[in-house]
């Protein structure tokens, strides 16, 4: 369990794992903390969370430096991620009490009330691609609802996990309300089964989600899963090509394309496909790939060497099967886990670039004849996380969006998460929601009280 700098391949830190006995003691301590935390008022919880937001913003650059060092995130993207964490803390501090207030329902009983009670210890299994944001977007609502949490972070970003635990402590939260478990993935099953753990949230791969959900299901414990995506980016013939190619480049290279909700399949009307391809090539080819800590860098390294090998294999096999390489398609010969910004055209069903999630800076262009075919191709995937539609008519775009099988659809704008909007998918992209009031109510007991 080592943190390796993706830009240099140098060791940052080797992390000492908690023993099974230590994990057991941590879990018991967190459960004990819950017995008191559950009785605190929303006002008290909000005060702690606002202090955490203050610390995040006050230590923004230090937190961002961890992201840049551990998983290679661009400095400006890392700073934006920390600011977003502070935003989600303030959002739930401001809104949770109203969302979770008791509801009076008129029935034949003298009094009928719905209350929202915390469940207890929630296990969060989180990924490496947004190491702070994906923890805080779960943790802020979980704590405001009166739950406590333990975190099993990805093994290459344990430095981020430790920093989050430190921030919670600095904010003055009661001891053991949140703890980071420094353990390998092989020990997650035992934690899921532990009697004090009441529910699990996981953001990660489809395989990891299936494994955790199967274990939790046998234990009759609730899960929320946010998994992969192969998100369609539909370009209609009346789209603003300058704007949509700007966003296409941003979506495909933000975080080096390592985002589940990033556009991956570019489904373009044949009448505008040549112009779209030419603009996309011009903009992708102009990107500066290099040191993520340098202000002039447009695209950073990928997070790990195996991820470079995997994306290169998907590109190579797709080309062997008939895809046309427009630009890129090579590993960059320098220290670090770098891959060229890549465009594949003439992508067809059966190719990895069509069928699989491409978790890297690779855009797959699929040409279609009309909007009907565009919808069919968009839905021709086992995933259903997000999608975007580009049209000169917002009304037309919205009408088409209603036919796409996904948890989120954005019209003429970049797909992105927001604390006020539910985030999550369908099909093999998972189930449940994060953010908004829906995310806040995922880990509560909706209790009916009648008299």
Residue 391: HSE in the Cβ half-sphere, 13 Å Cα cutoff = 18
Distance, in Å, from the CA atom of 381 to the CA atom of 95, rounded to the nearest integer, reads: 36
Distances (CA, A) of 396 to 154, 386, 388, 399: 41, 18, 13, 5
Q: Is 83 a catalytic residue?
A: no
What is residue 176's three-state secondary structure? coil
Task: Return the closest-CA partner of residue 258 out of 74, 102, 383.
Answer: 74
Number of helical (H) and strand (E) elements in the chain, helices listed first: 15, 20
Q: HSE of 205 in the Cβ direction (CA atoms, 13 Å)?
A: 11
- 257: tokens are 């394309």
Contact 30, 179 (CB under 8 A): yes
**Beta-carbon contacts of residue 105 (< 8 Å; ≥ 6 apart):** 112, 113, 114
Three-class SS state of 229: coil
Catalytic entry in 226, 340, 357, 434 = 226
Which residue in 63, 244, 260, 327 is the catalytic one? 260
Question: What's the N-to-C CA distance of the chain in angstroms?
Answer: 55
Alpha-carbon gap, residue 418 to 397, rounded angstroms:
21
Of 108, 107, 124, nearest in space to 204 by CA: 124
Determine whether 260 is an active site residue: yes
Residues 389, 406: contact at Cβ < 8 Å? no
The Cα–Cα gap between 438 and 121 comes to: 19
Catalytic positions, please? 226, 260
């Amino acid at each position: 369990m080592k943190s390796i700098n993706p830009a240099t391949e140098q060791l940052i830190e080797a992390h000492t794992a908690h023993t099974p006995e230590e994990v057991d003691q941590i879990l018991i301590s967190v459960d004990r903390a819950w017995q008191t935390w559950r009785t605190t008022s929303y006002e008290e919880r909000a005060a702690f969370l606002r202090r955490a937001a203050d610390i995040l913003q006050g230590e923004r650059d230090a937190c961002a430096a961890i992201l840049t060092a551990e998983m290679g995130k661009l400095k400006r993207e890392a700073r934006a991620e920390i600011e977003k964490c502070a935003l989600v803390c303030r959002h739930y501090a401001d809104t949770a009490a109203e969302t979770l207030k008791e509801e009076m329902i008129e029935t034949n009983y003298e009094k009928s009330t719905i209350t929202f009670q915390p469940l207890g210890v929630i296990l969060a299994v989180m990924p490496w691609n947004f190491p702070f944001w994906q923890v805080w977007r779960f943790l802020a609502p979980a704590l405001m609802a009166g739950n406590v949490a333990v975190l099993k972070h990805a093994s290459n970003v344990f430095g981020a996990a430790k920093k989050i635990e430190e921030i919670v402590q600095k904010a003055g939260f009661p001891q053991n309300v949140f703890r980071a478990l420094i353990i390998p993935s092989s020990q997650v099953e035992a934690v899921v089964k532990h009697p004090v753990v009441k529910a699990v949230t996981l953001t990660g791969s489809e395989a990891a989600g299936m494994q955790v959900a199967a274990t939790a299901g046998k234990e009759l414990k609730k899960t929320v899963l946010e998994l992969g995506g192969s998100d369609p980016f539909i370009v209609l013939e009346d789209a603003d090509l300058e704007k949509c190619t700007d966003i296409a480049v941003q979506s495909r290279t933000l975080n080096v394309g390592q985002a589940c909700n990033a556009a991956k399949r570019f489904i373009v009307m044949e009448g505008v496909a040549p112009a779209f391809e030419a603009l996309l090539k011009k903009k992708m080819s102009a990107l500066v790939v290099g040191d993520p800590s340098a202000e002039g860098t447009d695209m950073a390294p990928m997070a790990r060497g195996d991820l470079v090998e995997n994306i290169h294999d998907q590109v190579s096999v797709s080309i062997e099967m008939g895809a046309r390489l427009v630009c890129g398609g090579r590993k960059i010969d320098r220290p670090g886990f770098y891959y060229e910004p890549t465009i594949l055209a003439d992508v067809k069903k059966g190719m990895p670039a069509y069928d699989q999630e491409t978790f890297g800076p690779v855009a797959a262009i699929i040409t279609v004849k009309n909007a009907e075919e565009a919808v069919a191709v968009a839905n021709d995937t086992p995933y259903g996380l997000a999608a975007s539609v580009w049209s000169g008519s917002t009304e037309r775009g919205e009408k088409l969006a209603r036919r796409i099988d996904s948890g989120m659809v954005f019209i003429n704008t970049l797909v992105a998460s927001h604390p006020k909007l539910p985030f999550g998918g369908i099909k093999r992209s998972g189930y449940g929601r994060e953010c908004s009031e829906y995310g806040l109510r995922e880990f509560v007991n909706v209790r009916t009280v009648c008299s």
